[in-house]
Structure 1
C-alpha cells in the first residue's frame, strides 16, 4: 500500500508515519514528489491497521497497490522519473530523449577513443561498450575485462560522455561501479536476483535489459528487486524477445513501450541493434521507438563493422549514427521533446 501525505505535511509528519509503518513490521520507501510526499509500504500487510495510519497527522489517504511490483509502479509515482547520467548529468527521461552509442565490445584504446569522438559529434549523451562480454559460445571473444574498463574511463575523460557497460557477475560489481556511470544488466542476467540485489546497493543508475523470453511483469519485478534493495535509479531497456521468426535476431516488440509507460514511472530505453540483428533495420526502429514514447536509444556503432570482434552485422557506422540522430530529433520535436 501507499500512504499519500497532504501537500502541507511537514518532515515531522512524515517521520511519524514512517514510525507507524515500521511498528506494523513494514519497510518504508519515501518518494518526494513536486506536490506531495508518498510513502510506499513494503511487506506483509495482513496485520496492518489501515485506520491507524489514516488518522495520523496530515495523511491524505492510504491506497492499496494492485500491481505485484510496488516501487516501480505508476500507482506509487505518477510522474515519469528522469535519471541523470554521467559527469555532465545528462537527463534521460522526462522531456529529453537520450541516445547512447558505441561498439558492442571494447577492442583497443584507439578504437574506443575515435568512436567516442564520433558518438559525441553525433549528439549522443553516452558511450556504450562491453569490457566484460558474456557470449553464447565459450570460444567467442570474451572482452578485455579490467583493461577494457580503463579504456572506457579514458574515453570519458576525453569526451565527457557517460559510460555504459555491462556487469556480468557479483565478482565484478565493485570494479564496474568504479568506472561506469551506468551499470548494464544483460538479458541473460535479468533474473540473476543476487546480482540485482547487489546493484541495489550501488549508488549509480542501472540499465536493466529485458530477458530473452520474459513477460513484462517479470521484467518489472526484476526492476523491483533493484529498487527494493535501495537503488531507485533504474532504466528499463527493451531489447527484443526470442520468437519463431528468423529474419531478425530477436523480435522487437515496440508495443511494450506504451505498455510500460502505462505501468511504470521508470525511463524506457530501446536497443534496436539486438532487437533486430541487422544494421539496415536500426535507424527505422529508432524512429519508431521514439514515436512510440521511448526515453532513449541504445545503439551499437563501430568504425569498421565488417571487422568488429562481436556483433558487426548489427552495428551502424558513425555516419549512419549521425543521420539517425538527426531523424529522431525531428520526430521528438513533433512530440514536444528534444534529443
Structure 2
C-alpha cells in the first residue's frame, strides 16, 4: 500500500504520519519523487481501509494498494518513478538508471593473474567502461572446471582498481564471503545459479554495497523480481537487475536465449535499473555486438560485456569474450552511435569512416 502526499506537504506532517503508521504495526518508507513524497507501507495491510487512512491527514492526496506480490520492487511502490543507484568509484559517483547515460561494465569472466586483469582493466577503461567485471569465485557446471582463484583474486581486483580507476563488480557465492568480497567490490554480484539462494539474498540485503542480481537460467520474471524483493526487504534499496539469457529449447546456435523483451516488460513492472549481459546471453563473441546494440536501442540502463586479452587461452568463457581491440571499436564506433541517437550516451558519437 502507498500513501501519496500532496505537493508541498510539510516534513513534520510526513514524520507524524510515519510514526502513526508504525504504531499500526506497519513499516513506512518515505520515497521522495520529483514533485511529491510517497510513503510506502509494508506489512499486513489487507484489512486496512484506504478511505480510513485517507482521513489520517488533510495532506494525503490518495491511498493506493500495491497488487503485485513484490511490493518494494514494484513500479507502483514508487508511484511510477524509476529509481537510481549511485555507485562510488575512484573516478567519482556513477549513476545507474533510466534518466542517465548507459553504463558500460567489461572484463574477463575470471581473474587469472595480475598482469592479465590490470592490462584488461586499462584497456576497457580507455574504451569507455566505468566498471571492471571479473570473477574471483566462479560457480561452474562441472566440478573439474576452473573455479576461480578465490580470495587471492580479490587482491588482484583491488590492484586493477588502483591501476585503472574503475569500479569493481564481482560475484559472491557464499554468505561467509560477503564481508571479504564487499571489502573490495563496489558492487556485489549474485549470479544466475544463486538467484534463489535466499540466505545469500538476505545477507547481501543486510549490507550497504549495491547488488547486481542476475536472472536465473530458468527463472520467470516474477521469480526474478521476488528474488530482488528479498534484498530490498532486508534493507538494501540499491539493486540492479541483470538479464543474462535464459535456457530454452534452442541450444544449437547460442548458449542461451537473450530475452531483450524484458526491457519493455520490466519498465511496466519495476522501478529498478536494468543491465543486459549479451556475452552470457549468446555465448558467442560474434553475436555480442549485435545484441549489445539492440539492448541500447531497446532502452537498457547498462551493459556487461566480457573482454579478455587472449580469448583462445581464457580459463573460462573464452568463446564469448571480445578482444580489447574489438571492444574498443564496439564502444567507440558502434554503441556510441546508438547511445547518442536515444540520448543515453555521455560522450559524442564517433562517426564511422
Shared fold by TM > 0.5? Answer: yes
Number of positions where the alignment pairs a residue of Structure 1 with one of Structure 2? 339
Q: CA-to-partner distance for each residue in 1:184-230, whole Å, 9 max, x for gaps?
A: 00001111111111111111110000001011111111111111111
Which residue in 1 is equivalent to 2:351?
none
Select 1:80's aligned residue among 74, 82, 101.
82
Which residue in 1 is equivalent to 2:33?
33
Normalising by the residue count of structure 1, what TM-score does the alignment of the two structures yield?
0.97
Which residue in 2 is equivalent to 1:338?
345
Which residue in 2 is equivalent to 1:48?
48
Q: CA-to-partner distance for each residue in 1:82-116, whole Å, 9 max, x for gaps?
A: 22223221122223101100000000111110000
Q: CA-to-partner distance for each residue in 1:267-302, whole Å, 9 max, x for gaps?
A: 110001110000000010000011111001001100
SS of aligned partner of 1:280? coil
Task: Provide the rounded CA distance (Å) in 2 between the counterparts of 1:245 and 1:86.
Answer: 39
SS of aligned partner of 2:280? helix
Cα deviation, residue 122, structure 1: 0.5
Which residue in 2 is equivalent to 1:18?
18
Which residue in 2 is equivalent to 1:329?
336
Which residue in 2 is equivalent to 1:115?
120
Select 1:308's aligned residue among 281, 304, 314.
314
Q: Structure 2 matches for 1:162-311, cutoff 5 A?
A: 162-246=167-251, 247-311=253-317
Cα deviation, residue 128, structure 1: 0.1
Task: Provide the rounded CA distance (Å) in 2 between the counterparts of 1:322 and 1:157.
Answer: 21
Cα deviation, residue 49, structure 1: 4.2
SS of aligned partner of 2:260? coil
Task: Provide the rounded CA distance (Å) in 2 between the counterparts of 1:135 and 1:337.
Answer: 35
Task: Provide the rounded CA distance (Å) in 1 between the counterparts of 2:305 and 2:87.
Answer: 17
Q: For the aligned residues, what is the CA RMSD?
A: 1.2
Task: Provide the rounded CA distance (Å) in 1 between the counterparts of 2:331 and 2:266.
Answer: 24
Task: Provide the rounded CA distance (Å) in 2 between the counterparts of 1:170 and 1:114.
Answer: 31
Task: Provide the rounded CA distance (Å) in 1 between the counterparts of 2:204 and 2:39.
Answer: 22
Select 2:136's aligned residue among 119, 131, 135.
131
Which residue in 1 is equivalent to 2:350?
none
Q: CA-to-partner distance for each residue in 1:53-100, whole Å, 9 max, x for gaps?
A: 212231111101112111111112222222222322112222310110
Of 185-194 and 34-43, deviating more is: 34-43
SS of aligned partner of 2:213? strand
Cα deviation, residue 159, structure 1: 1.4
Please, which runs of 5 or more residues in structure 1 have no aligned partner?
Answer: none
4+ runs deviating over 4 angstroms: none
Q: CA-to-partner distance for each residue in 1:239-269, whole Å, 9 max, x for gaps?
A: 0100111211110011111111121111110
SS of aligned partner of 2:77? coil
Which residue in 1 is equivalent to 2:349?
none
**Is the CA contact 2:245–2:259 (under 8 Å) kept in the aligned structure 1?**
yes
Please, which runs of 5 or more residues in structure 2 have no aligned partner?
Answer: 347-353
**Is the CA contact 2:213–2:242 (under 8 Å) kept in the aligned structure 1?**
yes
Q: Structure 2 matches for 1:141-180, cutoff 5 A?
A: 141-180=146-185
Task: Provide the rounded CA distance (Å) in 1 between the counterparts of 2:133 and 2:10.
Answer: 42
SS of aligned partner of 1:75? helix
